[in-house]
C-alpha cells in the first residue's frame, strides 16, 4: 500500500515537472569537505546550498564553485584560496560537467582506452544527446587489513587476530532523460571480513545482528570468515517547480547535520526506501522525508520476511544572517499493519499534534541546530535533540529517566594556524539513556538493527578530533582521534544504553545519569594517508589503535557496543587499500 502511495505521489508531481532535474553527490564524497571549506572561507553562507541537509545536488555544487571561481578571477577572494583549492574546484566542475552553463564542462582525455573508454578524463563512459545523458563509472573498494589484539589471558583474543579483506565492486550510473527526469543507481557486491571488535558488534550475541551500513547478509560460519551482502541504491529526481521544489524517490541514505555524526539522522544504518520533498526559497530550505524502515529482528530465527516500520521527518533551515543558520527538526517513527499512517503524509511541519491525536504511541523527536561562520576561518555547529523533558524534574536534580535529550557541539578551523589546507575539527556528543528507545521494540529509532542517529545509540559522552592536511594536489593526510564513555546494560537490567530495549523495562525511574550503569571507555586513533592517482582513484594506507576497557571491571559478554567475554582489549591494525568512486571503509565509528 505504501509503495503504491509513493508511486502515485511521484507520478502526480512528474506531470508538472519542468527542467532542472538533478542528481546528487554521494555521501562520503570528499566534495562535501571541499564545499564546507569553500563556504566558510568565502565568509558567507550560500542560500542555494545547504550542507546541513545532505545529499546536495551536483548542479548547486557546480554553480557555487563557479561563483567562487569568478570571485577569484576578480581578485575578490584570491588571498583566501590556495592553488590546491583551485585544483580541487576544477576537478569537481569537470567531473560534473553536465551542470556547467554550456553543459559541456567535461575534460577530454588525451588517451582514451580503445578510443571508447574514458573519452572524458573523469568518467569511464559518457553518452550525451539533446534529450538523453548517461554517465557510467566503475565502483571498486579493496582493503587488506592485518590485525593484532592483546587482552587479559583470553583464548578468544587469538581468534580476533589475523588478516581481513574487504571487497566491494560493481558500477554506478547517473544521467537524465529529456532534461526532465534525473536518475542514479549503484549496486555493489560485497565480501567483508571484519576487524575483531566490529565482528563482535555485528554478531551481538547472535541477536540484533547487522553489518554496519549494510542490510541483508549471509553470516560467516566462523570468526574471520566473510560477511556476504549487496548494497543497492538508486533514485529518480524531478522538479515540481523549477529550481525551487524538487521530488526524489528511491532507496539510499540521507544525513542531517554538520558534524562527524548526527543526533537527528546519520548515514550509519543501511539504505532505506524514501520519498523526499525539498523546497528552497529565499533563505529557507525545507524538507519532508518519508521513510520505510526495517524493524529489529533476530537472525537466529532464520530467513524470514522482516517487519517494516515507517518514519516521517521534517527539517526547516533558515539563514538568519549571512554568517548564521538556524534549523528545526522533527521526526516520528511508527508501525502500522496496513501501511503508512495517513496523518503523517502531511508535508507540513509540526506533526506532533497528529502524534498526540493518535495517542502518542509513536516515537517522536524534535530538535534544533545551528551553524555559524566567523573570521573566514572558523565554523561552529551544534544540535539539540529532545524526546521528553520536564523542567521541574531537571531542576530537582534527582536524575529522572524521562529527561531524554542529546547535545552536539563542534567547531572547524580552516587553514589552521595559518597553514594552507590544514583543517581541524573537534566535536562533543552526549545522549541521555533511553533517548532513542520506545515503549515497544518496533518504534525505536533504528533501522535494520542499527541506530538511525549516532552509532553509539544512547547513554554516552563522546569527543572526536580530526586533522586533515592536503600538502599537495593529490595527497591527503587525516588523523582522527576519538574517546568515549558509555554505560553498559548488565544481565537483564535496562540502564537505557541499548536502544533496542523498551524503556518500560527500565531499572529505575530516578538516579539516571548521562552515563548510566557500569561504564566502558574506548580510545581510538586512526592515521590515514590517501593518494589520488587519478580522479576518484585512491590508494589508502593507514593504522588504527583502539583500547577498550570497563572501568567497573564488568565484562558480561556485551560490553560497550562491542563484545568481549573476558576483559580489556587493545586492538592494533594496519591496512592498505585501493578504491574507485567509493568512500573509504572506516571502522572507527565506535
Burial 22-55 (b: 16+ CB within 10 A, else e): bbbbbbbbbbbbbbbbbbbbbeebbeebbbbbbb
Q: At 121, list the grid cell.
A: 578524463
State the average pLDDT over residues 173-179: 91
Distances (CA, A) of 92 to 145, 306, 477: 31, 40, 20
Residues 6 or more apart whose CB falls under 8 angstroms from that of 553 comprise: 567
Q: List, in sequence order, every residue forming a beta bridge with 146; answer none if it has no partner.
A: 163, 574
Q: Say if CB 566 and CB 157 are below 8 A apart.
A: yes
pLDDT value for 20: 58
The model's pLDDT over 413-436, given as tens digits with 9 standing for 90+, comes to 999 999 999 999 999 999 999 999
Residues 6 or more apart whose CB falls under 8 angstroms from that of 365 comprise: 264, 329, 330, 331, 332, 385, 386, 387, 445
Q: Reply yes or no on whether the pLDDT at 366 is more than 80.
A: yes
Q: Predicted confidence band at 63 (pLDDT cuts at 50, 70, 90)?
A: very high
Burial 99-131 (b: 16+ CB within 10 A, else e): bbeeeebbbeeeeeeeeeebbbbbbbbbebeee
Distance CA 386, CA 436 (A): 10
For residue 385, give the nearest of 427, 450, 354, 430 by alpha carbon. Answer: 430
State the average pLDDT over residues 533-560: 83
Pairing of strands 569-580, 537-550: antiparallel
The model's pLDDT over 321-359, given as tens digits with 9 standing for 90+, comes to 999 999 999 999 988 877 788 888 888 877 665 665 555
pLDDT value for 332: 92
For residue 54, give the nearest of 72, 75, 31, 83 by alpha carbon. Answer: 31
State the average pLDDT over residues 182-198: 93
The model's pLDDT over 528-546, given as tens digits with 9 standing for 90+, comes to 999 999 989 999 999 999 9
Q: Reply yes or no on whether the pLDDT at 155 is more than 70.
A: no
pLDDT value for 586: 93
Distance CA 80, CA 549 (A): 45
Q: Reply yes or no on whether the pLDDT at 268 is more than 60.
A: yes
Q: Predicted confidence band at 207 (pLDDT cuts at 50, 70, 90)?
A: confident
The model's pLDDT over 4-56, given as tens digits with 9 standing for 90+, comes to 444 434 433 343 334 457 899 999 999 999 999 999 999 999 998 999 999 99
For residue 193, give the nearest of 157, 168, 158, 156 by alpha carbon. Answer: 168
Who has greater pLDDT, 66 or 203?
66
Q: Reply yes or no on whether the pLDDT at 560 is more than 70.
A: no
The model's pLDDT over 291-322, given as tens digits with 9 standing for 90+, comes to 999 988 888 777 777 889 999 999 999 999 99
Q: What are phi and psi of 413, to 5 degrees?
A: -130, 105
Who has greater pLDDT, 447 or 562?
447
The model's pLDDT over 472-490, given as tens digits with 9 standing for 90+, comes to 999 999 999 999 999 988 8
For residue 59, give the nearest of 319, 246, 276 by alpha carbon. Answer: 246
Q: At 507, list the grid cell.
A: 531499572
Pairing of strands 519-534, 450-451: unpaired
pLDDT value for 489: 85
Q: List, in sequence order, every residue forming a beta bridge with 184; answer none if it has no partner.
A: 174, 235
pLDDT value for 18: 42
For residue 578, give the nearest of 107, 253, 138 by alpha carbon. Answer: 138
H-type helices in 43-120, by residue range? Answer: 58-73, 83-95
Displacement of CA 150 from its chain's centroid (Å): 31
Of the chain, the percentage scoring pLDDT greater than 90 comes to: 63
pLDDT value for 258: 98
pLDDT value for 247: 95
Q: At 142, list the grid cell.
A: 579493496
pLDDT value for 359: 52
Q: Reply yes or no on whether the pLDDT at 153 is more than 60.
A: no
Considering the chain, what is the average pLDDT of its residues? 88
- For each of the domains in the chain, give its residue range(s) and CATH number, in order of start: 2-580 (2.40.160.130)
pLDDT value for 355: 62
- For the chain, the maximum distance between any two Cα atoms, rounded to a whole number of angstroms, is 75
Lowest mean pLDDT among 46-60, 263-277, 392-406, 563-577: 563-577
Distance CA 138, CA 158 (A): 37
State the average pLDDT over residues 499-513: 92
Q: Say if CB 434 and CB 506 are below 8 A apart.
A: yes
Q: Say if CB 172 and CB 125 are below 8 A apart.
A: no
Q: Say if CB 72 and CB 88 are below 8 A apart.
A: no
Who has greater pLDDT, 184 or 351?
184
Quickly tell me which residue has 593504522 as its cell. Answer: 543
Quickly tell me which residue has 521494540 as its cell. Answer: 441
pLDDT value for 472: 97
Q: Say if CB 111 and CB 123 are below 8 A apart.
A: no
3-state secondary structure of 462: strand
Q: Say if CB 408 and CB 454 are below 8 A apart.
A: no
pLDDT value for 358: 53
Amino acid at each position: 500500500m505504501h509503495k503504491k502511495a509513493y508511486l502515485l505521489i511521484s507520478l502526480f508531481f512528474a506531470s508538472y515537472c519542468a527542467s532542472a532535474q538533478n542528481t546528487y553527490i554521494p555521501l562520503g564524497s570528499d566534495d562535501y569537505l571541499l564545499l564546507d571549506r569553500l563556504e566558510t572561507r568565502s565568509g558567507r553562507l550560500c542560500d542555494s546550498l545547504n550542507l546541513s541537509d545532505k545529499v546536495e545536488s551536483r548542479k548547486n555544487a557546480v554553480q557555487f564553485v563557479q561563483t567562487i571561481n569568478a570571485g577569484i578571477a576578480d581578485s575578490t577572494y584570491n588571498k583566501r584560496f590556495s592553488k590546491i583549492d583551485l585544483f580541487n574546484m576544477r576537478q569537481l566542475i569537470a567531473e560534473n560537467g553536465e551542470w556547467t552553463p554550456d553543459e559541456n564542462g567535461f575534460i577530454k582525455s588525451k588517451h582514451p582506452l580503445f578510443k571508447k573508454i574514458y573519452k572524458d578524463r573523469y568518467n569511464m563512459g559518457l553518452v550525451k544527446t539533446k534529450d538523453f545523458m548517461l554517465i557510467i563509472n566503475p565502483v571498486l573498494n579493496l582493503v587488506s587489513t592485518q590485525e593484532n589484539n592483546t587482552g587479559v589471558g583470553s583464548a578468544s583474543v587469538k581468534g580476533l587476530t589475523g588478516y581481513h579483506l574487504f571487497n566491494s565492486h560493481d558500477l554506478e550510473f547517473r544521467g537524465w532523460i529529456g532534461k526532465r527526469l534525473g536518475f542514479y543507481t549503484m549496486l555493489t557486491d560485497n565480501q567483508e571480513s571484519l576487524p575483531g571488535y566490529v565482528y563482535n558488534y555485528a554478531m551481538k550475541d547472535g541477536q540484533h545482528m547487522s553489518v554496519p551500513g549494510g542490510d541483508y547478509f549471509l553470516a560467516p560460519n566462523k570468526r574471520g570468515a566473510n560477511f556476504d551482502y549487496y548494497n543497492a541504491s538508486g533514485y529518480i529526481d524531478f522538479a515540481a517547480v523549477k529550481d525551487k521544489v524538487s521530488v526524489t524517490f528511491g532507496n539510499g541514505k540521507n544525513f542531517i547535520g554538520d558534524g562527524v555524526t548526527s543526533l537527528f539522522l546519520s548515514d550509519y544504518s543501511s539504505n532505506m526506501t524514501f520519498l523526499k520533498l525539498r523546497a528552497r526559497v529565499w533563505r529557507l530550505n525545507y524538507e519532508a522525508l518519508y521513510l520505510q524502515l526495517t524493524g529489529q529482528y533476530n537472525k537466529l530465527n532464520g530467513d524470514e520476511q522482516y517487519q517494516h516500520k515507517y518514519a516521517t521527518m521534517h527539517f526547516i533551515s533558515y539563514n538568519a544572517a549571512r554568517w548564521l543558520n538556524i534549523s528545526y527538526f522533527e521526526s516520528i517513527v511508527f508501525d502500522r499493519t496496513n501501511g503508512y499512517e495517513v496523518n503523517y503524509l502531511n508535508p507540513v511541519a509540526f506533526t506532533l499534534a497528529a502524534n498526540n491525536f493518535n495517542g502518542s504511541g509513536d516515537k517522536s523527536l524534535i530538535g534544533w541546530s545551528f551553524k555559524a561562520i566567523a573570521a573566514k576561518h572558523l565554523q561552529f555547529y551544534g544540535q539539540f535533540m529532545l524526546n521528553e523533558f520536564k523542567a521541574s524534574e531537571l531542576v530537582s536534580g534527582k536524575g529522572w529517566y524521562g529527561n531524554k535529550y542529546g547535545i552536539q557541539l563542534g567547531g572547524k578551523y580552516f587553514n589552521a594556524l595559518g597553514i594552507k589546507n590544514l583543517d581541524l575539527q573537534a566535536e562533543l556528543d552526549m545522549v541521555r539513556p533511553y533517548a532513542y528507545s520506545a515503549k515497544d521494540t518496533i518504534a525505536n529509532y533504528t533501522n535494520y538493527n542499527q541506530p538511525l542517529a549516532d552509532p553509539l545509540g544512547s547513554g554516552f559522552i563522546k569527543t572526536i578530533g580530526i586533522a586533515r592536511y592536503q600538502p599537495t594536489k593529490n595527497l591527503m593526510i587525516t588523523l582522527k582521534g576519538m574517546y568515549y564513555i558509555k554505560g553498559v546494560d548488565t544481565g537483564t537490567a535496562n540502564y537505557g544504553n541499548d536502544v533496542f530495549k523498551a524503556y518500560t523495562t527500565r531499572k529505575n525511574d530516578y538516579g539516571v545519569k548521562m552515563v548510566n550503569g557500569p561504564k566502558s571507555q574506548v580510545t581510538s586513533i586512526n592515521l590515514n594517508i590517501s593518494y589520488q592517482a587519478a580522479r576518484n582513484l585512491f590508494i589508502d594506507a593507514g593504522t588504527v589503535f583502539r583500547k577498550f576497557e570497563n572501568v567497573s571491571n564488568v565484562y558480561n559478554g556485551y560490553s560497550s557496543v562491542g563484545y568481549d567475554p573476558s576483559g580489556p582489549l587493545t586492538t592494533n591494525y594496519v591496512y592498505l587499500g585501493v578504491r574507485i568512486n567509493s568512500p573509504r571503509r572506516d571502522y572507527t565509528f565506535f
